[in-house]
Structures are given as C-alpha cells and as structure tokens.
Amino acid sequence: MNVWRLSFRYLLFHRWRSLVLIVSLSLVFFLPVGVHWLVREYHQHLLARAGETPLLVGAKGSRFDLLFNNAYFSLESPTTIPFGELDKAESDDLAIAIPLHVRFTAKKFPIIGTTLDYFDFRKLTLATGTFPQILGDAVIGSRVAAALNLRVRDKLISDPANLFDISKVYPLRMPVVGILRERSSPDDDGVFVDLRTAWIIDGIGHGHQDAPQTGNQLPGTILSRSEATSTHLTFNDSIVQFNEITPENLRSFHFHGNDAEFPLTGLIVIPKDQKGSTIIQGRYSASVDRQMIEPLSVIEDLMRTIFKVEKLFDLFFILVAVSSLLFLGLATFLSIRTREREMEILFMIGCGKGTVAWICASEIVLILACSGILAVVLSAMLVHWAPGLSLILL
C-alpha cells in the first residue's frame, strides 16, 4: 500500500504531465470502444425500424435512398411516384398501402404528409392534443416540440425550398394540434400533416381571394377572359394567396390537376399474408420505373458493408494503440532518467531494486486504469446521446 500511495502522490504532484498522458491514452481506448458501441447501437435502431416496415414502393433507383427517405425521413430530394400507384399496390385486395410525401421541412425538421393509417401502423399515440382534423393541421414529434419549444395551438411555418425564390413553394403556416409521445424513433423528429396539406406546400394546391370579387375590385389582375363566357378568367400573380388555412378560408383551397398524378415519395405496403407478399413483389420485380424493397434485407446488406469497414478501423486503432503504448514507455523511461537522484536516495534508505521497479510499474498501472475508466465513461455518454444524433447521422 505504501508503494501505491507513493506512486499516486507522485502522479498528483506532476498533475499536468499525468493529465496529458491519461487524456491521450483514454482517447486511444475510447475510439475503438466508442465506435463498436455506437455501430451496434445504430444497428439495433436501424433493424428495429426496418423490421416494423414490411415493404416499401418507390421510383426506380437507389434502394437505400428509398428506404432512408421514407422510413427514416432523411431528405435527399427524392424521386416521386404518382398517387395512382396506391390503387395498384392495393389491387386484388392483397395488401394495404400507406402513402408518404417527405420532401419539405419546417425549421429543418421533416414534414411527413400521410394519412391517419400511418399513426395506427406505427402505433403512435398522443401526449397531448388531437390528430390532424382539417387541412393545415400539424402533429409534431416529441423532439420537435422540445427543440422548438412548441405547444398545442402554436404555429409552425414550413421552410421554403428555395430561399431565392419562395414563389416556387409557398411557405405554409400550420397550427400544431397535437404532440406525439416519445418513441425513440425517427417519428420523434417528424412534423406530420395530412397528405393534401403536403401537396399544398408542394404548390399543387392553394387558396386565394375570391376571383370574381377580386376581378371587380382590381381589374388589372385579369390576364385574360374567355370569349365564350365571362366566367372563365385567368388572373396574374397579384392575387393574394393564403399562407395559412383557417375555417374562414378553408373552402377556397383547391387543387389543379388529376389526383392520380399528384406526387408521393413512397408507399408503405402491408401485405395481408405471405402469399400476397410474394405476388406483389413478383409484380414489381418486372416493373421498369418502380421498385419494391424489403427494408430489413436492405439494412442487413448495409450493415454487412459497415462491419467490413469497421474491421479496417480496428486495424488502424491497433496500430495507434501500439504507438501510444510505445510513447508511454518512452515517457516512463525518460522520467526514470530524470529521477536518478531520487532513485539513489531510495537505495540509500534501504529500498531494493525490485521496490523501485514496482513503484515505476504502479505509476504506469494507475495511468492505464484512469485512462480506461475515462474511455468507458466517454463511450457510455456517446451511446446515451446516440438517439439524439440520429437526425444528423441518418
């Protein structure tokens, strides 16, 4: 015990040198441990989310983009499919399809246009408020509410897709009508709206002043008038468009075009049985411009690649660890050389060579122990904060 006490007091006296050694070694230990823990933590989260999603349908292209945009809401300008694809996915009563429109954000959080079936499918419940009831209503995830300090009846504005031309996508001011319970999933970071509300943000639908009244009050707003009938008018951009849906102007909102051609970023397809799943996948396997994926299979392929890369990092970490231990040995050797006078005094008062060697060894053991403890603490903190990093990393 006297040897350990003497070693501890020596390290404490040279606190700055000891601190540099401990921090340097702890980072060397933390990197491999932290990466291993973090990869396995994300592996579990990714698998859990993918396992809850039977099948996804989207435009032909990268299956990873389709998966991460529609299951994890990672926005990467996704390619769209027409709304009419919903009927094809549900044909012959083999499955139930849930539409998704994930293209825009509100305060950098993804806006998910969908139907009420989505909340039942994901088993999402409300902490307070109600689900969307009319156009413009928004239900937000728990992390959105905490990050933006929002409550029910507060307002949230969608982000313009182009800061230099906000006319392309008209920002919509949405009332928050509900806040979801925390699920530790990507749904906690979502702003959920009705599918038609998402199309309004997309510029497909809009509401504006009453056209006949505006034409009478502001004749300069009329670009053209039908020769056959004066009721068919074309107005210019000076007509005021509403950027918030209220009970007073709700009936003025309308859509131009065929609903079947309106965009979706994907469909969640829930087969009613295994036979139906096989038939549906067979249909889409021959499609030229559509694809159907199994999220669980895609995630497993992705993780196999990540684990291969992780092995290369392990080799790198081993080399760094060996270099650091050699550095520690060199620092210890130089320390002994500068402590020759101290060693002579220890010999003179009766300490044997074994005791002196044990003092030096105990100093190294104490430094390694403190470094290991600090590395474990840092790794545990990293894993604890991992769910909060999902929006950045995914």
Q: Are 114 and 170 spatial neighbours (Cβ–Cβ below 8 Å)?
A: no
For residue 391, the model assigns a pLDDT of: 43
Q: Are 322 and 315 spatial neighbours (Cβ–Cβ below 8 Å)?
A: no
Q: Quick check: 230 pLDDT over 50?
A: no
Q: Quick check: 137 pLDDT over 80?
A: yes
Q: Domain boundaries in the chain?
A: 2-46+301-393, 55-207+242-293
Q: Are 283 and 95 spatial neighbours (Cβ–Cβ below 8 Å)?
A: no
Q: What tokens were used for 85?
A: 């694809």
DSSP string for 205-237: EE-BS-HHHHHHH-GGGEEEE-SS-TT-EEE-T
Query: Which amino acid belongs to residue 93?
Result: D
By CB neighbour count within 10 A (0-12 exposed, 13-18 middle, 19+ buried), where does 119 fall?
buried
Give the three-class secondary structure for 315. helix
DSSP string for 10-72: HHHHTHHHHHHHHHHHHHHHHHHHHHHHHHHHHHHHHHHHHHT--EEEEESS-HHHHHHHHHS
Mean of pLDDT values over 379-394: 61
pLDDT-derived band at 224, boundaries 50, 70, 90? very low
Q: Quick check: 213 pLDDT over 90?
A: no
For residue 12, the model assigns a pLDDT of: 82
pLDDT in tens, 244-276: 787 787 787 878 788 899 999 999 999 999 998
Q: Quick check: 309 pLDDT over 60?
A: yes
